[in-house]
Structure 1
Amino acid sequence: MDIRRVECLDGLRGVAALWVLIGHMMILTGFRLPLIGKPDLGVDLFILLSGFLMMYQYRLRAGSEDWDAPGTWAAFWTRRFFRLAPLFYVTLAAALIAGPSIYADRVAIDSFLGQALQPAERYTDASLTNIVMHLTFLFGLLPDYAFRTPLPDWSLGLEMQFYLLFPFLILLGRRIGWIPAALVAAGGGVAIALLAGAAGLDYPMPSFLPLKLQLFLAGMLIAAGPGESLAWLWVRLGAAMLLAAIPIGGDQDLLHFAVRELLVFGFFALVHWRSLGAIGWVSRLLGSRPFYWLGELSYGTYLIHLLILQPVAAAVIGQFGTGLGAAGRFVLTGAIVVPVTYALAFVTYKLVELPGQRLGKAMIKRVAGGSTPRALQTVPEKIAAP
């Protein structure tokens, strides 16, 4: 693997965010297509990419960071916090303020489409407890708070739990090997998930890390070290696909199983076989300038889109009712929602995300005594939680 750049990462994270957006548009307009109408699979792709990138960056920084030192862990956690938190806090404030209005829109949508109504508290709970749980990213640990804002933020709590665990996974992998460490961690995750289920913890979304840890670990295994043999790469691929097949966390029907396996295999191919024919062409396409920007705006797109989508879908339904079919509702809603969402994602990328990342780097530099190793300055921090 060329350790300098993995071209497909930019495009894949952009595709994952667009997948989630389109899937939610289908749910809220009544238009259905197979596969693309499953936004949870777009989140699974994000999780896979996140596991890969954390391991990839660890390898890039291996010569300049001491992972036995708590300071390295603190720098890692600081970088990741300032990658996620600034935009999340901005959109969380907007969601809490607009929550009652968005809930009324969602009731109108679900009533028109004959879907079960969402719990009111998911949209209207502006209690101090709910706010504190979200500001601290602890909400994903508790079923009652894991899905309690108008945002699709359950995966952010999940992502933060993975970041918290990541240094311990690194230490375990260095001690017993990366594949054994991944299998041990996955086994522990399954055991904890089963115990949580037996204790009556019923998560409305798989926001608890043991429910999705296997996909993070699969992504980590795809980030093979330089110089590994072809045979060992096949072993890594087999282990990653085995992890992705663990039947916990989210829907477990045949379609979801098959797509998760294809996501692992396809991503592995784009990373390790990108010099081959059509695979190379796809990899270069995903690394092209348009896909680069699609990826840069992916985090904002993911966080913002439901705040725009639900009012617009409700307005389209209110204006046209049954006079416009599902396909028409989907097209008209998308014509409004997609450009507005990406425009807002661009604005918040410039005004919130980038300043937040710079603030995080400045804090690390200050704590480090005014100097930051070059590896910490130049390695990109591009993958955010979906």
Structure 2
Amino acid sequence: MSDELSYRRLPSLTSLRFILACPVIWYHVSYVSGIFDGSLHKSLAIVSPFAAGAVSAFFILSGFVVTWVYRPGDRPASFWRRRWWKIVPNHLLAWTATLVLFAVAAKQMPMPSPPGDGTAAAVTNLFLVQDWVPDYHLYSGFNTPAWSISCEVFFYALFPALILVARKIPAQRLRPVWAVLAGVIVLIPLVSAAIPGPELYDWLPINERSLWFVYIFPPVRLLEFALGIVTARLIQTSTWPRIRRRYLGISLFVLFAALPSLPPQYAMGSAAAPALAVMIARTALADIEGRSRRLPRPALILLGESSYALYITHAPLMMAARYLVGPDPDLAPWVGFAWVLGVIAVAIPLSVVVYRYFELPLMRRWSRSRRTPTPPQPAPAPTPASST
């Protein structure tokens, strides 16, 4: 197995993006929207660790994919240009929709907590710098999902340097590097737990600065992106160990079962990063070895390709739908769940439209230079995959 495999498509990872988006969308629409109240609303917070874990998986997957498609000689400017046209137009579209929504709704937006509709939240959200200030109403304000895009901008800014370092690591040292990264990621919540402050949520005893450090702060989340880079390099160099699926399932089960006994910062997703990296590696290997059957289906691939549009546009749609039912809807539970399913049922096809008719045309037109690219150097001959 060699770098030449990096030019092979991994459709199952594309489909996986949609699957990972589902718990995030469900958590936002069912819980963050405030459509329910009382004990039912509190009980829906149980989805939060799964949504946070999905975000961690997205960061790992991002590092994996950009490493997988990287070719020696690719100029940083070309990489940044492609990433800019991938993330910024959809971000600006969602930001504009949110701005119009707040202009129409003014101060009457019926959300359970102030969504950060002030000038500071709007400006920091626009320029994707909201994650650098430990202020809940900035990093969770305006179009809330954009906080993770703020992290991605930081990751992409550093990627040309990170990939050069990663490619210089000898193949036999990649496993120890992976283990160190995984260990540091798992220990980060303990560091965050030492940060004092009043609790931010009634269902999760974690304060604003602690939440910001463990979940939002870009240099901390960079560790998961780097884990994705090293995971891809392990597969490219045929040094990824064979880990059976049942061990992956057991590790995830033990983690979630242990959450009540761990500091609450462990509910913010990153502790699952090592297991999630294994899941991503297994999914990629299934494509490489021709074993994948369920994920690489055209409909799922299209939904995966549209997942970024879904992620960045569902919040303004959700807030508009929430505004329409009023500040105190007092809905029967079945009506509330029908509202949740209705919002999601609109958000998914809307994301496909945005992807096909907005995101994709702009990327095709502007993301690549019109100059003829230099052909990549031939990759070394494949070597047998290792297993343990």
Change (3 A) 1:91 1:258: closer
Deviation at 1:92, TM superposition (A): 0.6
Q: Report the secondary structure of 1:321's partner residue.
A: coil
Given that 1:103 and 1:123 are in contact with CA atoms closer than 8 Å, whether structure 2 keeps it comes out as no
Given that 1:124 and 1:149 are in contact with CA atoms closer than 8 Å, whether structure 2 keeps it comes out as yes
Structure 1 counterpart of 2:141, from 136, 148, 153: 148
Give the Cα–Cα distance (whole angstroms) in 2 for the partners of residues 261 and 185 of structure 1.
Answer: 9
1:354 is matched with 360
2:128 corresponds to 1:137: yes
2:161 is matched with 168
Q: Report the secondary structure of 1:305's partner residue.
A: helix
Cα root mean square deviation, aligned: 4.1
Number of matched pairs: 333
Given that 1:6 and 1:271 are in contact with CA atoms closer than 8 Å, whether structure 2 keeps it comes out as yes
Give the Cα–Cα distance (whole angstroms) in 1 for the partners of residues 272 and 196 of structure 2.
Answer: 30
1:43 is matched with 55
Q: Report the secondary structure of 1:268's partner residue.
A: helix
Give the Cα–Cα distance (whole angstroms) in 2 for the partners of residues 265 and 184 of structure 1.
Answer: 15
2:75 corresponds to 1:75: no
Given that 2:63 and 2:227 are in contact with CA atoms closer than 8 Å, whether structure 1 keeps it comes out as yes
Change (3 A) 1:73 1:185: farther
Deviation at 1:344, TM superposition (A): 2.3
Given that 2:148 and 2:216 are in contact with CA atoms closer than 8 Å, whether structure 1 keeps it comes out as yes
1:288 is matched with 297
Structure 2 counterpart of 1:11, from 10, 15, 29: 15
Deviation at 1:20, TM superposition (A): 1.1
Give the Cα–Cα distance (whole angstroms) in 2 for the partners of residues 250 and 83 of structure 1.
Answer: 34
What amino acid maps onto 2:338 in structure 1?
V
1:113 is matched with none
Question: How do 1:371-382 residues align onto structure 2 when only pairs under 5 Å count?
Answer: 371-373=372-374
Q: Report the secondary structure of 1:252's partner residue.
A: helix
Q: Deviations over 1:204-245 (max 9, x none)?
A: 543322221222122222213445156x566xx99xx9xxx9
Given that 1:96 and 1:125 are in contact with CA atoms closer than 8 Å, whether structure 2 keeps it comes out as no
Question: How do 1:196-211 residues align onto structure 2 when only pairs under 5 Å count?
Answer: 202=209, 205=212, 206-211=215-220
2:330 corresponds to 1:339: no
Give the Cα–Cα distance (whole angstroms) in 2 for the partners of residues 314 and 131 of structure 1.
Answer: 19
Change (3 A) 1:99 1:40: farther
2:285 corresponds to 1:272: yes
Deviation at 1:268, TM superposition (A): 2.4
Question: How do 1:98-247 residues align onto structure 2 when only pairs under 5 Å count?
Answer: 98-99=101-102, 101=105, 104-107=108-111, 110=112, 118-119=113-114, 122-126=115-119, 130-144=121-135, 145-177=138-170, 178-179=174-175, 202=209, 205=212, 206-223=215-232, 224-226=234-236, 228-229=238-239
Give the Cα–Cα distance (whole angstroms) in 2 for the partners of residues 46 and 142 of structure 1.
Answer: 22
Q: Report the secondary structure of 1:74's partner residue.
A: helix
2:306 corresponds to 1:297: yes
Give the TM-score normalised by the residue count of structure 1.
0.71
Deviation at 1:79, TM superposition (A): 0.9
Give the Cα–Cα distance (whole angstroms) in 2 for the partners of residues 186 and 49 of structure 1.
Answer: 15
Give the Cα–Cα distance (whole angstroms) in 2 for the partners of residues 183 and 141 of structure 1.
Answer: 28
Given that 2:195 and 2:210 are in contact with CA atoms closer than 8 Å, whether structure 1 keeps it comes out as no
Q: Deviations over 1:253-309 (max 9, x none)?
A: 4x9577545423322222225689xx94xx322110110111121111111111122
Name stretches of at least 5 consecutive residues in structure 2 with no aligned partner. 198-207, 377-388
Give the Cα–Cα distance (whole angstroms) in 2 for the partners of residues 361 and 304 of structure 1.
Answer: 21
Deviation at 1:53, TM superposition (A): 0.3
What amino acid maps onto 2:316 in structure 1?
L
Q: Deviations over 1:164-185 (max 9, x none)?
A: 1112212222334445666777
What amino acid maps onto 1:53 in structure 2?
V
Deviation at 1:353, TM superposition (A): 0.8
Change (3 A) 1:316 1:125: closer
Q: Report the secondary structure of 1:347's partner residue.
A: helix
What amino acid maps onto 2:140 in structure 1?
F
Give the Cα–Cα distance (whole angstroms) in 2 for the partners of residues 34 and 188 of structure 1.
Answer: 27
Give the TM-score normalised by the residue count of structure 2.
0.70
Decide which moves more: 267-276 or 47-56: 267-276
Give the Cα–Cα distance (whole angstroms) in 2 for the partners of residues 26 and 198 of structure 1.
Answer: 30
What amino acid maps onto 1:51 in structure 2?
G
Change (3 A) 1:172 1:179: farther
Give the Cα–Cα distance (whole angstroms) in 2 for the partners of residues 131 and 84 of structure 1.
Answer: 18
